[in-house]
Amino acid sequence: MKRCIVCDKEFDGVSRDVCSWKCDENRRAVLRKKLDDAVKNDKSHTKKMAKSD
């Protein structure tokens, strides 16, 4: 048994980290959001740098 990294449910699976395609979508959405946030933070950081210049 493995544990789904998204919903924490136990499931039968070998190569997957998630229990269903729904959780797979969810994980992708979370990853994408993290990436977006990182880009946003990066941009605001750059803006601050430019302002103080």
- Residue 29 vs 38, nearer CB to Zn ion: 29
Number of residues in the chain: 53
Locus of tokens 């797979």: 24
Whole-angstrom CA distances from 34 to 12, 13, 50 are: 28, 26, 24
Size of the site for Zn ion (CB under 5 A): 6
* Binding flags for Zn ion, 21-50, as an x/- string (CB under 5 A): --x---------------------------
Q: Which residues bind Zn ion (CB under 5 A)?
A: 4, 6-7, 9, 19, 23
